[in-house]
Amino acid sequence: MLKKRIAAILSVLIIIVQTAYGFGFNTQAHAAEITDNIITSVTMAVYDNGVPVTDVVYKQGAEVKLTYDWELPDNTYQEGDTYSFELPDHFVLASDIMGTPLQADGLTLGHFDVLKGNPNKVIMTFGQDIDKYFGVHGSFSIKTKFDKASFTETTEQQIVFPVNGGNQTVTLHFIPDNTSILQKSGTPVGTNAGGLNAKQITWAVDVNKVLSSVYGASVTDVLPAGLALTDPLDVKMYALNVKLDGSAVQGAEIPASQYTVTDPSGNLKVAFKQSPITSAYRIQFTTDITDLAKKSFTNEASLSGTGLPASKSSATVNVGYGTPLKKTSSAYDPNTQITTWEIDYNYNEIPIAQADAVLKDYFDNTQKLVAGSLQVFPVNFLTNAGGTVGDTPAGNYTLISPSAAPGGKSGFELKFTSDINSAYKIKYKTQAIGRVEKDTTITNTVYSGDTYETGTRGINQVIIAKTLPSSGIDYANKKVKWSVTINADSYQMDHVVVKDIFPNKGLKIIPGSIVVKKGDTVITTGFSIENEIPDTGFDVKFNSQITGPYTITYETYFDNKWLSSDWLTTDAKFVNQAAVEWTKPGSTDVNTKTVTASFDPQPAEKANGYKSGSYNASGKEIIWSIGVNYNRNPLNSAEVTDTIEGKQVYVPGSVEIYNLIVAKNGDYSQGTAKLTLNTDYTVSYNETTKLLKVKFTKKIESGYIIHFKTSLKGKLVDSPTITNTAKLYNEGKEESKDLTASLTIPKANEFVQKSGSQSNTKIKWTVNINYSQSYIEDAVVTDDPSDNQILQSDSFKLYATTVNPAGDVTTTGTPLVDGKDYELAITTDPDTGKQQFVLKFKAPIEKAYILEYESLIVANNNDKVTNKVGLTGKNSTTITKTSTKDITVALSSADGVGTGTRKALKIIKADGADQSKLSGATFALYRKSGSSEVLFNTLTTDANGEAVFKNLWPGKYLLQEISAPSGYILDSGKKSVTFDSTTAIVEEFKVYNQKAATPTPSATPTASPTASPVVSPTPTPTVKPTETPTPTATPTATPTATPTATATPTATATPTATPTPTTPPVIDYSTPTPVTSSVPGTVVTPGPSATETPTPTATPTGTPVATPAASPVQTPAVSSTPAAPQPTALTTVEDVPIDGEIPLGGVPGIGEEPAHGTVKITPDGKWTYTPDPGYTGKDKFTIVVTDQDGNEDEVTIEVGVDEVPKGTVTGTPDTEGNGLPGQLPQTGENSPLPLYLTGGGLMILGAVMSRRFKNHKKSK
């Protein structure tokens, strides 16, 4: 008995200790941010196309490799501690760099992440081994580029790296945006604006603006013909301050002692005494223009140096000269027939001797020089390269008549009285000799020595002119006003008769509208109107000689139907002709002059109507508008026909008719009077011929606007243009030309369009679907991405859209539902790894959709990522449309893949006991990208127990078993797999499963139960005899990983029989074999193995008379209804996480989330609860365990979050009775709470055992 008592005491003690520690009271202080600078030094290497740069001057966007050395003080930091710092802003990242290992001496001591942003940030996270070594140190590298945008304009830049003990400053020099080491330029030099008529050229040679090191540098300049050095020794050199953009600012002059100047063979050579030169310089010198006939000069300079390839630069300077001689006509007055002429002389400002300064001007003999009109003005170009004419005429010339004019021409000769070297403008006038009776061109030529220039001027007769003022047209009243002017040049004319006729009819004179004016005065006498025929014309006969201008005005009506030609097939234009007959004084010969004017009406007048249309993309309807009878002709039986073309369908009942209003200027608008269907008009439509007819039921004498609608609903909208033609008839005869209109359908034939943009390590894709709004059945979108990206299944969002009348598309904001509105399937080729997704609409579509999704980039930097999308479906024909988009990605080094070889992961599934291969296990492989996991593919093992994930890019992956073989326990933990250059091309990966145990049926005692055995998770049951036994069972609250305890149910009652004890089934909870890999470069982390807990039953019958002894390996459960499980209650303190064991027996998951914190299931078979910052109080959550048959067991866990004590812990009193301050646990130090709980438990145990011993003695 003593042994049993000691065993019971030890069992209770073990349970108390396990409970205290199992519920997480062994709390440690957690990881923290490292605030001390652990970076000891930084080194930088610069690359040009992958080759290290050894020069001291770098390209502005060059590739850079930064290497950071770091060191941790001994015994200072622990697992999970982090250190973060910012990269200097002179570096740019293309993407995040995530999860790069921190390695030192072959050990992985954590990882670091580089986050792209403003600024870029580096976060180092240390692993579990850093507190186990002395002198922990290491280094890591980041590949980046110089950020040109962050540089100031100077070529010298400073970059500061904060390190332990101070800042490490690096001064760098960058190559400006120049591609040439030598640049030549030249500028004409003179006093005139714009360098006009320059006499010199100043040359500049910029040397070494790329800031290279040039040894033995010298510059040679070869002068072309026509130039000469002004002063061979007048060469100056200046320092150049070069900016990053390549521009330069001239600095201080360089002393002549630092270079030499020679003049070999009339050329220029400048040699630098300093060697090497590393700065930029400008050499300046001036040349005289010795050949004033040349307008262009090309000068070449060359730079030589030790080991320097030949460098040459040339510059061409064009010198602008004014014209030596030019002749123009600047004005003309037709009434006086006077023409103004100008001569530009010596605008190139060359010296001309007095004997050569002579101009001879000749003009047609029909012209004469207007006496006193010639003037000579000086011209300068100081402020205006076009020349500024002086106010005071020059007087240094003489004017004589030429001794002999060529070809019988007239003219003059102008001689300057002294040498000249400036420019002059000569102005004069000529007048026609006699009357100009027809339009003609006159010519004028000026000579200077052997050089000559000719000017011309067109002159016109003004005996008669006919005009149609724009203000004289009145479309509303169908009137036009005409004007005839005679004798504008005021000659004497006798027997004057003006005859006005309408050659092709169409016009009718408005009676009483003819008005005659002498000058600006209306006259009623001195003339007579004869032969006035309304549709033909009239004559105006003057009774006496006229000597001044006269004007005749009148108005006519116009109408297409009055034209002599068929206005329906010809251009409906109204022609008006006027002729004047007269005799000259003293002559009987009759002279005649005829002129013509035309009225060309606007198109609606010519066609007697118009047509227009507009498309409402929102409703897919076209509104057609037909303006008929624009000319307002009387029509007894008017009918309008319109054939509906293409895929349009007439919308029944859509015809509306309003009156048409025509304004005076010809504009038309809709009136307010609306006609009534079947009263004022009828409508018919032939479905077969698609002919629409609108027939007026009454005579019309006005214009009307007919509106009707057609629809594209249910149609394939693939034509961008729709054309319709209408025509007006009266009693079966055409009353209008074809009234045709074409309109554009926005986004027609747009079925699928792909676009995308890079966002860090992902591509955001957008697919515009059916922007044409076609009706499509069985619509399927198929997308084929290139194999250097992985689709993110959880990123797919399909949006319905709204379309405004103009066709602009916007999303509705709420994504559609997969499985309800559409079906999305993503497939991965098991051999190539290439993915494809297919999106099927579950119903016909007739509006636009927008699909958005993301893919993870697994490409190299500068690789192209391609996506080809297609849309297929059915309408009247099968629809197949495609769109392709290429994006060149930019990735920072850790996200780029380092090799050109793809790899494979071979899964081998086997029985954990006999190693037999297992088929039917399904695995999911996820690609790690920062904190996210992207599903790559799912595969199921074949008959050989194998599944191979192929075509894998290097990087990190997670492998998870999502379905176990039949009869085996699922191992749902995620295993980490890393591929790099050292990993095998085909990596084998063995995964073992344990068989699910089959429970053994319970034996049934024969005796009738008279007591209630109380089952508990401890080997010490409590027995309570009763008259009416009620079997109860206490469920296990926290089973251990390997339940092998022996439960002994004991019942004490009236002894009537000895029942046979029930033996529960024995279940083998074997620990799964960890997955390992012997291949370097592959890291595999085994996850937890889920186990199941079968529920054995015990059904005692009869009345036990003794204590039956049984040794089951699992807690039996009686067959009656068990009591409701009570929540597990735990306690932690504010801001401190707490851990606990996950119940065994299947796949665990989070059921109800905590309201005031977060809970996670860790791979080692535990849960971790973290309260919200600052929260105190009660919180709870549930964990659901699902066995292989789908049965769920839910465990509720309550957590109390207490406040952190704000006072001090009082220790042993000192001599004065004051308590000493207690100590809180430091980082890594255990809490003393378990000791307090253990002591309390032992005291309770002592009290219980003491009472038990006393009772035992009494029973004796």
pLDDT digits (tens, 9 = 90+) for 224-253: 999 988 877 789 999 998 888 878 889 999
Q: For residue 489, which of 332, 624, 701, 657 has the smallest C-alpha distance?
A: 332
pLDDT score, position 1195: 84
Tens-place pLDDT, residues 261-317: 988 777 889 999 999 999 999 999 999 999 888 999 999 999 999 988 889 999 999
Tens-place pLDDT, residues 416-454: 999 999 999 999 999 999 999 999 999 999 999 999 999
Same-domain status, 107 and 132:
yes
DSSP 155-204: SEEEEEEEETTEEEEEEEEE--S---SEEEEEEEE-SSGGGTT-SEEEEE
Tens-place pLDDT, residues 918-959: 888 999 888 876 667 888 888 899 988 898 888 776 677 889
Domain that holds residue 944: 903-993
CA distance 979 to 905: 9
DSSP 1139-1193: EEEPPSSSEEEE-SPPSSEEEEEETTTEEEEEEPTT--EEEEEEEEEE-TTS-EE
- For the domain that residue 339 is a member of, what is the CATH number? 2.60.40.1290
- For the domain that residue 943 is a member of, what is the CATH number? 2.60.40.10
Residue 342: pLDDT band by 50, 70, 90 thresholds? very high
Same-domain status, 845 and 719:
no
Q: pLDDT at residue 1005 above 50?
A: no
Same-domain status, 657 and 672:
yes
Token pair recorded at residue 815: 């994504």
pLDDT score, position 1134: 83
Q: Look at residue 780 and tell me if it is in a domain.
A: yes
Same-domain status, 512 and 435:
no
Mean pLDDT, range 43-52, rounded to an integer: 81
In this structure, are strands 986-993 and 903-911 parallel, antiparallel, or unpaired? Answer: parallel
pLDDT score, position 899: 35
pLDDT score, position 289: 92
Mean pLDDT, range 608-613, rounded to an integer: 96
Give the chain's domain count. Answer: 10
CA distance 206 to 216: 17
Residue 881: pLDDT band by 50, 70, 90 thresholds? low
Q: For residue 27, which of 1208, 1237, 1088, 1245 has the smallest C-alpha distance?
A: 1237
Q: pLDDT at residue 480 above 80?
A: yes
Residue 1094: pLDDT band by 50, 70, 90 thresholds? very low
pLDDT score, position 553: 97
State which H helix or E strand residue 20 sits in: helix 2-22
Paired strand residues for 53: none
Q: Look at residue 1165 and tell me if it is in a domain.
A: yes
CA distance 997 to 1067: 6
Mean pLDDT, range 1052-1064, rounded to an integer: 36
Percent of the chain topping pLDDT 70: 78
Question: What is the three-state SS of 1042-1061?
Answer: CCCCCCCCCCCCCCCECCCC
Same-domain status, 308 and 190:
yes
Mean pLDDT, range 190-205, rounded to an integer: 92
pLDDT score, position 456: 96
Q: pLDDT at residue 840 above 90?
A: yes
Mark 1182-1193 as b/e (b = at least 16 C-beta within 10 Å): bbbbbbbeeeeb
E strand segments, 786-863 = 789-791, 797-803, 809-815, 822-828, 835-841, 849-857
Same-domain status, 349 and 445:
yes
- Write down which residue in 895, 915, 950 finishes a domain: 895
Q: Look at residue 1249 and tell me if it is in a domain.
A: yes
Q: pLDDT at residue 1178 above 80?
A: yes
- For the domain that residue 821 is a member of, what is the CATH number? 2.60.40.740
* 59 CB-contact burial (10 Å; exposed 0-12 / middle 13-18 / buried 19+): middle
Same-domain status, 825 and 774:
yes
Q: For residue 259, which of 243, 272, 277 has the smallest C-alpha distance?
A: 272
**Helix/strand/coil for 1243:** helix
Token pair recorded at residue 213: 């090191």
> Taking a C-beta distance cutoff of 8 angstroms, is the pair 958, 928 a contact?
yes
Q: Look at residue 1180 and tell me if it is in a domain.
A: yes
Q: pLDDT at residue 1059 above 50?
A: no
Q: Look at residue 247 and tell me if it is in a domain.
A: yes
Q: For residue 55, which of 219, 214, 223, 290 has the smallest C-alpha distance?
A: 214
Tens-place pLDDT, residues 71-85: 888 767 888 889 999
Tens-place pLDDT, residues 529-578: 999 999 999 999 999 999 999 999 999 999 999 999 999 999 999 999 99
Residue 45: pLDDT band by 50, 70, 90 thresholds? confident
Token pair recorded at residue 882: 């495609």
Q: Look at residue 928 and tell me if it is in a domain.
A: yes
pLDDT score, position 1119: 37
Distances from the Cα of 575 to the Cα of 386, 563, 996, 1170, angstroms? 46, 10, 107, 97
State which H helix or E strand residue 913 sits in: none
Token pair recorded at residue 1065: 């089934």
CA distance 636 to 730: 7
Q: pLDDT at residue 1102 above 70?
A: no
* CA end-to-end distance (rounded Å), the chain: 14
Same-domain status, 761 and 867:
yes
CA distance 505 to 626: 29
Same-domain status, 865 and 921:
no
Same-domain status, 445 and 413:
yes
pLDDT score, position 325: 97
Q: pLDDT at residue 1051 above 70?
A: no
What type of residue sits at position 1100? P
Q: Look at residue 1103 and tell me if it is in a domain.
A: no
pLDDT score, position 1226: 38
Same-domain status, 486 and 557:
yes
Q: For residue 768, which of 684, 665, 852, 843 has the smallest C-alpha distance?
A: 852
Q: Look at residue 1217 and tell me if it is in a domain.
A: no
Paired strand residues for 582: 591
DSSP 289-340: E--TT--EEEEEEEEE-TTPPPEEEEEEEEPP---SEEEEEEEEETTTTEEE
- For the domain that residue 88 is a member of, what is the CATH number? 2.60.40.1280
Same-domain status, 417 and 349:
yes
Q: For residue 1144, which of 1197, 1071, 1046 has the smallest C-alpha distance?
A: 1071
Phi, psi (degrees; rounded to nearest 5) at 530: -125, 160
Q: At what angle do helices 1233-1259 and 2-22 cross, to 10 degrees?
A: 150
- Write down which residue in 873, 895, 917 finishes a domain: 895
Percent of the chain topping pLDDT 90: 47
Q: Work out the mean pLDDT of the chain and round it to a whole number.
A: 81
- Write down which residue in 599, 626, 652 finishes a domain: 599
Residue 897: pLDDT band by 50, 70, 90 thresholds? very low
CA distance 718 to 721: 9
pLDDT score, position 887: 62
CA distance 796 to 785: 14
Mean pLDDT, range 394-413, rounded to an integer: 85
Token pair recorded at residue 703: 């214009």
